[in-house]
Chains A and B, each alone.
Chain A
Amino acid sequence: MAYSDKVLDHYNNPRNVGSMDKSSPDVGTGMVGAPECGDVMKLQVKVNPTTGIIEDAKFKTFGCGSAIASSSLATEMLKGKTVDEALEIKNTVIVNELSLPPVKIHCSVLAEDAIKAAITDYKNKKQQSSEKSETVNA
């Protein structure tokens, strides 16, 4: 199977590879997939708590070239978006951008799931900390 130039570009020069401190209250972490399925994506966002804008995004992916490219592209798309805008990102955008063939669509779905998981994690943390502060105030 031939890979599109964009997939090759992300595979050869993956953007935003790395990890951020998962315990930080400003960082949301999403981990989706399973080793036995051959795909695991870890995607992290760092959100500015006052503006709600994603300032940084990092990923690490175990998976095929298309999975690596999908998650790499996802980190690029996330930066500068608000958390609510990030939740609007659909896998089809990734499919089109990377010209993924039908057998690789699940890679883009996984990337969308990773985004949602990371944002959800961030929101949960934020809610917990606000609940905590409410308890303290009370």
Chain B
Amino acid sequence: MKLPIYLDNHATTPVDPRVLDAMLPYFQELFGNAASRNHSFGWEAEEAVEKARKQVANLVGANAKEIVFTSGATESNNLALKGVAEMYAEKGNHIITAASEHKAVLDTCKHLEKDGHRVTYLPLKADGLIDLDMLRESFTDKTILVSIMYANNEIGVIQPIREIGRLCKERGILFHTDAVQAVGKVPVNVLQDNIDIMSLSGHKLYGPKGVGALYVRRRNPRVQLTAQIDGGGHERGMRSGTLNVPGIVGLGEACAIAQREMAEETVRLQAMRDSLKDKLLSELDEVFINGSWEHRLPHNLNISFAYVEGESMLMGINDIAVSSGSACTSATLEPSYVLKALGMGDDLAHSSIRFGIGRFNTQEEVDYVAGRVIEVVKKLRELSPLYEMAKEGVDLTKVQWTAH
């Protein structure tokens, strides 16, 4: 077993060696520009891109013509939201999203608000799911788009996408989903799930960074987007810019592998994730799982160790790469807004750790991680005045703290 252990697979994943092998020829021998129409270099590149387009489409039940390649999910989300807002401006100016969305969606919404759009941010229930009744009540005659993520990047909670899509369809409202964490991990089908527009990213499913895609439905309804990058009119005019051929080939191969191996991989990762959870819960008291356990990605565990601060946890398990919702680990010095949206106290958000198990992790690694986490939590609780007070029976919510 090699240290450090990488267990932060929601942040990014390593490129699968098979993906890298597929990409390598497209850097040197087959380096052509996919838009070059009059020589073999261009044709070979174009052929590779079209193969990848099919691979991506196949994984999500789409038609290849409905896949637009981008630089990643942030760009895909920007194109989806701004592209719809601009294209359908005559129809309305209201967008519905959720408080737990990725910043690529939330900040794009903030931008649109400045431009005169109205955005509704749906709160989360305590289990991390949105309330479908609340969604229904938020619809107005001016609503043009609903954007709700498929699965959350922090707590791994999977939203009732099919139901959301159905509600939108009934009202003739477009439905976009940021499916970055879900594609390749759980079965996603744009037709069955009633999705009109969907963002995905290469590096979250063992493909390279710097490449992603946007699914844009062509029929029933035909979705149109205003391009956000002007230029040579690539990607059916929706996204200009010379195609990142090696990246796209990598994304395609990553999708093909995911499609072949997802069923087996899910069972394996879930078993490891469950063993990690069981070990932590059996050895430690006052441990809380954040978000619904039932509606959750099979490889996600987000857990709060009460009375222990997240960054000090990460410092203790310095041979393990994971993330925390603690303020100290964020650039803004605010604890995770996703965990806050669950309505839990900030103190538990500060105490949260996110584990993301991936394709290349082993049971041996997971066992080691469980042992280290248990050891460090126990050590830090010995140091924690809060743990001491709780053990003495002090109700911490009633204490007059000197907030600073």
Q: Which residues of A contact B (CB under 8 A)?
A: 3, 11, 14, 17, 19, 31-42, 60-65, 67-68, 103, 106, 109-110, 113
Contact = CB atoms under 8 A, between A and B. Distances in A.
Given A38-B335, A40-B385, A40-B386, A62 B404 contact: no
Contacts of A17: 382-383
30 contacts: A3-B315, A11-B315, A17-B383, A32-B404, A33-B401, A33-B404, A34-B404, A35-B386, A35-B401, A36-B345, A36-B403, A37-B403, A37-B404, A38-B309, A38-B310, A38-B311, A39-B309, A40-B401, A42-B385, A42-B388, A60-B383, A60-B384, A61-B384, A62-B307, A62-B308, A62-B383, A64-B328, A65-B312, A67-B312, A109-B404
Given A17-B382, A38-B326, A38-B327, A64 B404 contact: no
Contacts of B382: 17
Interface in B328-355: 328, 333, 335, 345-347, 350
Given A11-B315, A17-B383, A68-B312, A103 B333 contact: yes
B386 A110 contact: no
Contact of B311 (A33, A37, A64, A110): A64
A65 B401 contact: no
A14 B404 contact: no
B316 to A, nearest CB: 8
B75 to A, nearest CB: 28
A20 B384 CA distance: 14
Nearest to B306: A35
Contacts, number: 91
B402 interface: yes
A60 B309 contact: no
B267 interface: no
A17 B381 CA distance: 11
A64 to B, nearest CB: 4
B229 interface: no
Interface string B118-159: 000000000000000000000000000000000000000000
Contacts of B350: 35-36, 38
Contacts of A113: 402, 404
A34 B399 CA distance: 9
A68 B383 contact: yes
Give the interface size bracket for B toward A. 20 to 34
B82 to A, nearest CB: 33
A40 B328 CA distance: 14
B104 interface: no
Q: Is the contact region of chain A dominated by helix, strand, or loop, or is it mixed?
A: mixed
A99 B316 CA distance: 19
A35 B312 contact: no
B396 interface: yes
Nearest to A63: B309
A109 B404 CA distance: 10
Contacts of B401: 33-36, 40
B312 A63 contact: yes
Contacts of A3: 315
Interface in B357-404: 382-388, 396, 401-404
Which of B315, B327, B335 counts the most A-chain CB atoms under 10 A from its CB?
B315
A25 to B, nearest CB: 21
Contacts of A109: 404
Interface in B268-312: 307-312
B339 to A, nearest CB: 12
B42 to A, nearest CB: 46
Contact of A11 (B312, B335, B387): B312
The 7 A-B pairs of least Cβ separation, nearest first, read A34-B401, A35-B347, A36-B346, A42-B385, A64-B311, A60-B385, A38-B350
Contacts of A38: 309-311, 326-328, 335, 346-347, 350
B345 A35 contact: yes
Given A11-B315, A33-B402, A65-B312, A19 B388 contact: yes
B311 A65 contact: yes
A60 B308 CA distance: 12
Contacts of A32: 402, 404
Contacts of B385: 31, 40-42, 60-62
A91 to B, nearest CB: 12
Contacts of B315: 3, 11, 64-65
B383 A61 contact: yes
A33 B311 CA distance: 16
